[in-house]
Structure 1
Amino acid sequence: MSIQRRALLGAGLAAAALPFARVEAAAPFVGRGAPAWYRFRFGDYEVTVVSDGALPLGKAEDSFVGAGPGEVNAMMRAALLDPANALLEQNAVILNTGRHLILFDTGMGDSMGAASQMFGPTTGRLLRNMRAAGIDPAQIDFVVLSHAHCDHCWALVDAQGNRNFPNAQVAISEADLAYWTNDANIRGPAFMEPFIRGAQKNLNAYRDRMVMVRDGAEVVPGVTAISAPGHTVGHTIYAIASGPRVLVYTGDLAHHHILLLQRPLLEFSFDTDPKVSAQTRARLLERFATDQPQVLSYHFPWPGLGNVVKAGQGYAWVPAPMDVTSLG
Structure 2
Amino acid sequence: MTTNLSRRSLLALGAGLGVGLSASTMLGGSALAKAPKLGTQTPYWHRFILGDAEVTVVSDGTLPLGPPKGTFVGVPDEEVRKMLSDNFLNPDNVVLEQNSPIVNNGDRLILFDTGMGTSKAFGPTTGRQQKSMAEAGIKPGDIDAVVLSHAHIDHIGGIVGADDKPLFPNAQYYITQSDFEFWTDEGKLGSPLKDFVVHARKNLMPVRDRIVFIKDGQEFLPGVQAIAAPGHTVGHTIFMVTSSGKSFAFLGDLTHHAVLLLEKPRMEFSYDTDPKQAAGTRVKLLDTIAANKTPVMSYHFAWPGYGHIAKTGDGFHYYPEPMKMEL
Q: What is the match of residue 7 of structure 2?
A: none
Alpha-carbon deviation of 1:62? 2.8
Alpha-carbon deviation of 1:243? 2.6
C-alpha distance in 2 between matches for 1:319 and 1:60: 23
Alpha-carbon deviation of 1:19? 4.1
SS in 1 for 2:23: coil
Q: What is the match of residue 51 of structure 2?
A: 43
TM-score using structure 2 length: 0.90
Residues 209-218 or 179-188, more deviating: 179-188
Question: Which residue, 58, 68, 84 being the options, matches 1:60?
Answer: 68
C-alpha distance in 1 between matches for 2:189 and 2:275: 18
Q: What is the match of residue 252 of structure 1?
A: 253
- 2:257 partner letter: H
Aligned residues: 306
Q: What is the match of residue 11 of structure 1?
A: none
> What's the CA shift string for 1:286-310, capped at 9, x where partnerless?
1111001110000001000000001
Q: What is the match of residue 8 of structure 1?
A: none
TM-score using structure 1 length: 0.90
Q: What is the match of residue 294 of structure 2?
A: 293
Q: Does residue 182 in structure 1 map to residue 190 in structure 2? A: no
Q: What is the match of residue 73 of structure 1?
A: 81
C-alpha distance in 2 between matches for 1:18 and 1:254: 59
Alpha-carbon deviation of 1:61? 2.3
> What's the CA shift string for 1:38-70, capped at 9, x where partnerless?
000000100000010000000022311110241
Structure 1 segment 212-231 matched on structure 2, within 5 A? 212-231=213-232
Structure 1 segment 90-101 matched on structure 2, within 5 A? 90-101=98-109
User: 2:290 touches 2:311 (CA, 8 Å); kept in 1?
Assistant: yes
- 1:198 partner letter: H
Q: Note the residue ranges of structure 1 that are not aligned, 5 or more in a row.
A: 1-13, 111-115
Q: Does residue 130 in structure 1 map to residue 133 in structure 2? A: yes
SS in 1 for 2:181: helix
Q: What is the match of residue 89 of structure 1?
A: 97
C-alpha distance in 1 between matches for 2:46 and 2:98: 13
Q: 1:193 to 1:24 in 2, by over 3 A?
A: farther
Q: Note the residue ranges of structure 2 that are not aligned, 5 or more in a row.
A: 1-11, 13-19, 25-29
C-alpha distance in 2 between matches for 1:171 and 1:120: 28
- 2:234 partner letter: V
C-alpha distance in 1 between matches for 2:81 and 2:255: 18
Q: CA RMSD in A?
A: 1.8
Alpha-carbon deviation of 1:25? 4.3
Q: What is the match of residue 239 of structure 2?
A: 238
- 1:172 partner letter: I
Structure 1 segment 111-130 matched on structure 2, within 5 A? 116-130=119-133
Q: What is the match of residue 113 of structure 1?
A: none
C-alpha distance in 2 between matches for 1:84 and 1:213: 39
> What's the CA shift string for 1:270-325, capped at 9, x where partnerless?
11111111100011111111001110000001000000001222100000111221
User: 2:54 touches 2:104 (CA, 8 Å); kept in 1?
Assistant: yes
> What's the CA shift string for 1:118-149, capped at 9, x where partnerless?
11100000001101101000000100000111
- 1:164 partner letter: L
Q: What is the match of residue 108 of structure 1?
A: 116
SS in 2 for 1:299: coil
- 1:79 partner letter: N
Q: What is the match of residue 168 of structure 1?
A: 171
SS in 2 for 1:246: strand
SS in 2 for 1:248: strand
Q: What is the match of residue 20 of structure 1?
A: 23
C-alpha distance in 1 between matches for 2:215 and 2:98: 25
C-alpha distance in 2 between matches for 1:40 and 1:264: 29
> What's the CA shift string for 1:224-270, capped at 9, x where partnerless?
00000111110001001123222100001000000000000001111
Q: What is the match of residue 157 of structure 2?
A: 154
C-alpha distance in 2 between matches for 1:23 and 1:246: 55
- 2:122 partner letter: F
C-alpha distance in 2 between matches for 1:260 and 1:226: 20
SS in 2 for 1:61: coil
Percentage of matched positions with identical amino acids: 50
User: 1:224 touches 1:239 (CA, 8 Å); kept in 2?
Assistant: yes
User: 1:61 touches 1:83 (CA, 8 Å); kept in 2?
Assistant: no
Q: Does residue 206 in structure 1 map to residue 207 in structure 2? A: yes
Q: What is the match of residue 194 of structure 1?
A: 195
User: 1:108 touches 1:123 (CA, 8 Å); kept in 2?
Assistant: yes
User: 2:105 touches 2:243 (CA, 8 Å); kept in 1?
Assistant: no
C-alpha distance in 2 between matches for 1:240 and 1:299: 18
User: 1:245 touches 1:293 (CA, 8 Å); kept in 2?
Assistant: no
Q: 1:62 to 1:143 in 2, by over 3 A?
A: same
Q: What is the match of residue 16 of structure 2?
A: none
C-alpha distance in 1 between matches for 2:258 and 2:33: 39
Residues 259-268 or 27-36, more deviating: 27-36
Q: 1:44 to 1:187 in 2, by over 3 A?
A: same
